[in-house]
Amino acid sequence: MARYNVKETESRWQQRWSEAGCFEVEADPGKPKYYVLEMFPYPSGRIHMGHVRNYTLGDVVARYKKAKGFNVLHPMGWDAFGLPAENAAIERGVHPAGWTRENIEAMREQLRGMGLSYDWRREVATCDPSYYRHEQKMFLDFLKAGLAYRKESWVNWDPVENTVLANEQVIDGRGWRSGALVEKRKLSQWFLRITHYAQDLLDALEGLERWPDKVRLMQHNWIGRSEGARVRFELVGRDDVLEIFTTRPDTLFGASFCAVSANHPLVAEFAEKDPALAAFVAECNRSSTSEADIETAEKKGYLTPLRVRHPFRDGVTLPVYVANFVLMEYGTGAIFGCPAHDQRDLDFARKYELPVIPVVLPPKADPAAFAVGDEAYVGPGTIYNSDFLDGMEVEAAKAAVAERLTAIGRGEGTITWRLRDWGVSRQRYWGCPIPIIHCESCGPVPVPEDQLPVTLPQDVDFDSPGNPLDRHPSWKHTTCPSCGADARRETDTFDTFFESSWYFARFADAQAETAFGRAEADYWLPVDQYIGGVEHAVLHLLYSRFFTRALRDCGYLGIAEPFAGLVTQGMVCHETYKGPDGKWLYPSEVAKGDGGATVTVDGGKPVTVGRVEKMSKSKRNTVDPANIIDAYGADTARLFMLSDSPPERDLEWTEAGVDGAWRYLNRLWRAITESDIALPPPGTPKPTELSPAAEQAWRACHKTILGVADAIERFRFNTAVAQIRELTNLLFALDGKGAGEAWVLRFGWETAVRLLAPMMPHVAEELWVRLGHTTMLAETPWPDADPALAEDETVTIAVQINGKLRATIEVAKDTGKDALIEQALGHPNVQKQLDGKQPRKVIAVPNKIVNLVA
């Protein structure tokens, strides 16, 4: 019998599925639907192991749900706008459009080689005007609905490249390519009013029951609702006020300073007259816009000549600092500092020698002795040193302050969100043009809908600094749709999160002339199971949730939540290797030498084996899926991806593990195709007599069918594989001689092959045919199981003495407490351990345990 021919078999079945249109689906209100979606990839040129893992997980679910009778939508597309295409243009002189198109072609072929059950007719590429035209319309609708607006905000500016830099392109305060010191610059940009839905986005998290708790918690914290108060401090010697936001109005009597952001309007005024202040502001503006950098940077302040009056204490004034840790984007861009009860304020106060006045007394502390040292007290307690608040608990004091502030017109209680509106403007070429025209007299005017889409010009160059759209000789010149005067197109493009915020809806009706048909969207949405990396836990998922609400309110959709179920997969990792010269080596460049040591393939030089880390080009610890699929086939790669780790955890790719998967596939192949045991024809009724081994295997089949289904439903694919291996281990051991064994072998192999079909679809189809079937497994329902047969008749009960295992007893299922205790006490080892003594207490739990307390 011929060996299993991977390449021929896999491509043949891929072709058959495609020709039969197995995975092409239409909305059918008469059938229950299931929408499986994996996060679509950026077309970087080649698929990587992260993709293989993600798409294998999705494919198992899609094929399984189809076998379970669902009308399964499983689409794939390309998140095709983004920076790497522009970088390729700059570094290699290729056009982003051509580069992207070629990458898509190459990656589509790779995905096809994995045998994924996509409805390819629904493929979309977001850089295609037939896709992005719809989001231009959406943006205009958002504008009408008041969900989009324009305001100034700060960006990282590279003065040499004349371009805005992403945080990741700023390395140690310098542009990654130019090396120039990066500055902050204020630009007028478009924003989407995600904060309009802040409360709803927060509240609705509770209803997302099939989302991981950790993702819901991360979103909860990201939205960051905080109740507090605005306080308007009168500025000494001026008519205006300084408005601050605080979450701790109860500590107002402990205030010893105010601090404002370097970009606060008040600061500009003083910086003009004070070169040192101007220098400090400039320094702040040179630092990163990233929150992580701001928070970890040394806290610095600059004392202004301004002072503010304390709202409750006549004659008391506080100094005003400019501080590098106060964000203009949060609250009012100004704070008051209470060093005794906030660590950052305390550090600041110690540095600038400001008073530290405790106003919250910890429970049971002595007011005369309590003092704050290097650690601020942030716990609960009773207010003191605080006039009318004295004796109140923290929460009551917060309310009392808000009330008093309102009464004297100096502030009020308020809610602030950490969540900021979503800035969608990007000063880049390779993105969706923002459909706006700027007119000197009319201001920003929407492009009329009949002139959509606004398409990107093809003839651009990346040779000189700045945004190619802005530099283009003619593209931006147009006339005002409103007054007809000469006008200028918006040259910014959308953030690429814009495209990914609604693609799941486009897939419901990918060929539609509109964004998508309402009936199609109503049928398919929401996505029943969404699968992708944890790195998207906050931004992409939150933006999509926002977008769905905004689309609902603009009449596109009837739902608020796009993803009913979510699984976030872990990363694919690999060992790292360094050669004698200290340079990183690819796994393909090293091998196990004679003594078991790791050496270079080329020359046998010693290799240092490093830690297991996320696969990355920089550490060269990547394995190209193309090589694996070429050598072992897609089924083996898929099986290994599923069997070694649960999806949400990191997966370590090992050559040995892949070999193991490969050996299993071949073992199964040989057992079915090369066996001497003649199996009865398909459909032969079960014989009445079964040998004990046959009976056991038969029952195991039923148990495994239920167990594997349960494991797949719960995303425990590794245990699903383990259960199938247990079953096949039983089958490998049958010699076919006992009564009914040949029949059980047929039943067992058919069961195993059907259970494996979602995971290793090609070899499963091929074995199904070898077992004498003419149907396709892709169209075959999930096997039926008899729950009664899956139940064991006896259970093993652990017998403990003082919590230590001393014996096990085998009893009939559901044996009562008294019988359990009697049997346990009768066990020789138990008697030996008890040594004639009576247990003081006996705990017996049927089907589980007996614990004797001696």
Q: Which residues are known binding-site members for ATP?
A: 617
Q: Is 199 helix (H, G, I), strand (E, B) or coil?
A: helix
Contacts of 406 (CB under 8 A, 6+ apart): 412, 413
**Shortest Cβ distance from residue 732 to RNA (Å)?**
5
Site string for RNA, 462-481 (x = CB under 7 A): --------------------
Task: Choose which of 18, 167, 514, 684 interacts with RNA (CB under 7 A).
Answer: 167
Per CB under 7 A, 791 contacts RNA:
no
* Sheet strands side by side (includes 486-489): 443-446, 436-439, 486-489, 477-479
496 near RNA (CB under 7 A): yes
Six-digit token string for 181: 């010191």
User: How far is C-alpha 682 from the chain's CA centre?
Assistant: 45
For the record, the structure tokens of 187 come out as 């630009």
Tell me the per-residue interface mask from 389 to 428 with RNA, x by CB under 7 A, - otherwise: -----------------------------xxx-xx-xxxx
Rounded to a whole number of angstroms, the minimum distance from the CB of residue 426 to RNA is 5
Which residue do the tokens 């999160």 mark? 497
Site track for RNA across 533-552, x = CB under 7 A: -xxxxxxx------------
Instruction: Measure the N-to-C terminal CA separation of the chain; round to a whole number of Å.
Output: 64
Judged by CB, which is closer to RNA: 340, or 405?
A: 340
Q: State the minimum distance, in angstroms, from the CB of residue 458 to RNA.
A: 20
**Residues of this chain, 29-68, that bind RNA according to CB under 7 A:** 41-42
Nearer to RNA (CB atom), residue 125 or residue 607:
125
15: Cβ–Cβ under 8 A, 6 or more apart, which residues?
none
- Provide the total of helices (H) and of strands (E) in the chain, helices listed first: 27, 35
Q: Write the CA distances from 583 to 427, 580, 621, 622, 653, integer angstroms.
A: 37, 8, 12, 15, 21
Write out the binding residues: 617
Our CB check for RNA shows the closer of 386 and 493 to be 493
Least separation in angstroms between CB 226 and RNA: 12
HSE-up (13 A, CA, CB side) for residue 5 = 7
- How far is the C-alpha of 712 from the C-alpha of 719, rounded, in Å? 9
3-class DSSP state of 191:
strand
If the CB atoms of residues 136 and 189 are measured against RNA, the closer one turns out to be 189
Q: Shortest approach of RNA to residue 309 CB, angstroms?
A: 31
- Which residues between 370 and 389 bind RNA (CB under 7 A)? none
Which position among 657, 687, 736, 738 is part of the footprint of RNA (CB under 7 A)? 657
Q: In angstroms, give the least distance from the CB of 644 to RNA.
A: 4
Quote the CA–CA distance of 745 and 771 in Å, as a whole number.
Answer: 11
- Each residue 561-600 as x (binds RNA by CB under 7 A) or -, in order, gives ----------x-----------------------------
Bridge partner residues of 48 (DSSP): none
Residues numbered 498-527 forming contacts with RNA, rule: CB under 7 A: 500
Residue 770 contacts RNA per CB under 7 A: no
Residue 566 has phi, psi (to 5 degrees) of: -140, 135
Q: Segment 175-194, which members bind RNA (CB under 7 A)? A: 187, 189
Least separation in angstroms between residue 576's CB and RNA is: 11
Q: Six-digit token pair at 767?
A: 């074995």
In degrees and rounded to multiples of 5, residue 289 shows phi and psi of -90, 0
Q: Identify which of residues 39 and 560 has a Cβ nearer to RNA in the complex.
A: 39
β-bridge pairing 590-592 and 598-600: antiparallel
Cis geometry, peptide bond prior to residue 526 (ω within 30 degrees of 0): yes
Nearer to RNA, 350 or 663 (CB): 663
Backbone angles phi, psi at 445, to 5 degrees: -120, 130
| Segment lying near RNA (by CB under 7 A), choices 379-387, 408-416, 651-659, 813-821 | 651-659
**CB of 51 or CB of 232, closer to RNA:** 51
Cβ closer to RNA: 177 or 614? 614
Ramachandran sector of residue 82 (left: φ over 0; alpha: ψ -120 to 50; beta: rest): left
**Applying CB under 7 A, which of residues 804, 814, 818, 837 lies at the interface with RNA?**
804
Shortest Cβ 626–RNA spacing (Å): 20
Sign of torsion over alpha carbons 385, 386, 389, 394: negative
Site string for RNA, 87-126 (x = CB under 7 A): ----------------------------------------
Figure out which of the listed residues 22, 396, 798, 821 binds RNA, where binding follows CB under 7 A.
798
* Residue from 188, 511, 796, 831 in contact with RNA (CB under 7 A): 796
Count the site residues for RNA by CB under 7 A: 99
Q: Which is nearer to RNA, 177 or 518 (CB)?
A: 177
Q: Is residue 240 near RNA by the rule CB under 7 A?
A: no
Q: Does 155 bind RNA (CB under 7 A)?
A: yes
Shortest distance, position 798 Cβ to RNA, whole Å: 3
Question: What angle, rounded to 10 degrees, do the helices at 634-643 and 49-67 form?
Answer: 90
Q: How far is the CB of 687 from RNA (least distance, A)?
A: 25
Instruction: For residue 84, state whether it binds RNA (rule: CB under 7 A).
Output: yes
Least separation in angstroms between residue 16's CB and RNA is 29
Integer angstrom CA distances of residue 389 from 198, 400, 403, 409, 443? 32, 7, 12, 18, 51
Which one, 588 or 729, has the nearer CB to RNA?
729
**171 binding RNA? (CB under 7 A):** no
Please state, in angstroms and rounded to a whole number, the distance separating the CA atoms of residues 465 and 38: 37
What are the structure tokens assigned to 380, written together? Answer: 């609960």
Residues between 270 and 289 that touch RNA (CB under 7 A): 289
> Contacting RNA (CB under 7 A), which of 296, 458, 464, 838?
296
Q: Which residues ranging from 204 to 223 are in contact with RNA (CB under 7 A)?
A: 213-214, 217-218, 221-222
Instruction: Check binding of 725 to RNA (CB under 7 A).
Output: yes
In the DSSP assignment, the letter for residue 336 is E
* Residues 735 to 764 in contact with RNA, rule: CB under 7 A: none
State whether the Cα torsion 337-343-344-350 is positive or negative.
positive
Least distance in angstroms from the C-beta of 513 to RNA: 26
Contact segment (CB under 7 A) with RNA among 47-55, 265-273, 639-647, 684-692 equals 639-647
Q: Assign 3-state DSSP to the chain and report helix, strand, coil percentages, each to 5.
A: 40, 20, 40
Burial of 825 by CB count in 10 Å (0-12 exposed, 13-18 middle, 19+ buried)? Answer: middle
- Minimum Å distance from CB 525 to RNA? 22
Instruction: Tell me whether residue 364 or residue 841 sits nearer to RNA (CB atom).
Output: 841
**CB 649 → RNA: shortest distance, Å?**
5
**Is residue 713 a contact residue for RNA (CB under 7 A)?**
no
Contact 245, 327 (CB under 8 A): no
Nearer to RNA (CB atom), residue 79 or residue 141: 79
Decide: is 803 part of the binding site for RNA (CB under 7 A).
yes
Question: Least distance from C-beta 478 to RNA, angstroms?
Answer: 23
Nearer to RNA, 189 or 287 (CB): 189
Cis omega before residue 453 (within 30°)? yes
Q: Could you say whether residue 652 binds RNA (CB under 7 A)?
A: yes
* Distant-in-sequence contacts of 511-520, Cβ < 8 A, 24+ apart: 511/121, 511/122, 514/134, 515/134, 515/135, 515/137, 515/138, 515/556, 516/556, 518/556, 518/557, 518/558, 519/27, 520/27
- Locate all alpha helices (DSSP H) within 440-575, ordered by sequence: 468-471, 497-500, 503-506, 518-524, 539-553
CA 160 to chain centre: 35
The residues in 681-700 that bind RNA, with binding defined as CB under 7 A, are none
